[in-house]
Homo-oligomer: A and B are copies of this chain.
Amino acid sequence: MQFLKEADKVKSVFRRNRILHGERHENDAEHSWQLALMAIVLSEHASPEVDVLHVVKMLLIHDLVEIDAGDTFAFDQAAVLSQREREEKAAERVFGLLPTDMAEEMRAVWEEFERQETPEARFAGAMDHLGGGVVPNCHHQGGCWREAGVTVERVKARNSAIAAGAPVLWKYAEGLIEEVQQEGFIRSSNAAIVSQESVD
């Protein structure tokens, strides 16, 4: 119960991206709900051996460390450098509120998600990139990618991790990213260079 009450705090950790039907930023609790629902609805696109309950567990807890460590924008290189250390410390404290056996289990589930090595972790990771990045940002004309001036190459490099968990969904995501690029909301780094050269 102490753990569950503490977990309630992720309702006040806000992310870079916005909800689809509105302009406000999304919080970690509703983000985690969305990914868990997405994993169930899209589970036919996971490898057949994937244990869906395990994926859902991962997704429900994957951002609890942000209660202490805060949301780290994936394209903020300085923040990403210190992310692992901040989040490990947070995992120690937050999962430590659970009874010992469950604390160890949840901590291991979180570590598994972070390492992205098992089929479950990869499918959960694909949900995170798709539901927490590609879908909302493409819906909002580039969203926080546009706001931060991230190039299409960096967007694709980061989100191509979707392919490791669900190849079909990466095709879908790539299509959405390319549409946003064609509409001019995010730019190619090559295009930037070419356009600079043509100015020169």
Give me the interface of A with B, judged by CB distance under 8 Å. Answer: 1, 3-5, 7-9, 11-12, 19-22, 26-27, 29-30, 32-34, 36-38, 40-41, 52-53, 56-57, 60-61, 98, 102, 131, 135, 139, 172
Q: Are B20 and A33 in contact, with the CB atoms below 8 A?
A: no
Q: Are B22 and A12 in contact, with the CB atoms below 8 A?
A: yes
Q: Which residue of B lies closest to A44 (CB)?
A: B102
Cα A184 to Cα B131 with chains together (Å): 45
Q: Which residue of B lies closest to A32 (CB)?
A: B33
Chain B nearest Cβ from A63, distance in angstroms: 10
Interface of A is mostly: helix
Chain B nearest Cβ from A113, distance in angstroms: 14
Q: Are B8 and A12 in contact, with the CB atoms below 8 A?
A: no
- Among candidates B8, B21, B139, residue contacting A20 with C-beta atoms closer than 8 Å: B8
Cα A57 to Cα B32 with chains together (Å): 14
- Among candidates B19, B32, B98, residue contacting A8 with C-beta atoms closer than 8 Å: B19
- Among candidates B11, B19, B131, residue contacting A19 with C-beta atoms closer than 8 Å: B11
Cα A119 to Cα B90 with chains together (Å): 35
Q: Which residue of B lies closest to A33 (CB)?
A: B33
Q: Can you list 22 A-B contacts (CB < 8 A)?
A: A1-B172, A4-B41, A5-B139, A7-B37, A8-B19, A8-B34, A11-B19, A11-B21, A11-B26, A11-B30, A12-B21, A29-B33, A30-B30, A30-B33, A33-B36, A33-B60, A37-B60, A37-B61, A40-B57, A41-B102, A53-B53, A56-B56
Cα A131 to Cα B8 with chains together (Å): 10
Q: Which residue of B lies closest to A102 (CB)?
A: B41
Q: Which residue of B lies closest to A7 (CB)?
A: B37
Q: Are B8 and A21 in contact, with the CB atoms below 8 A?
A: yes
Contact partners of A19 in chain B: CB under 8 A = 8, 11-12
Cα A102 to Cα B37 with chains together (Å): 13
Cα A36 to Cα B131 with chains together (Å): 18
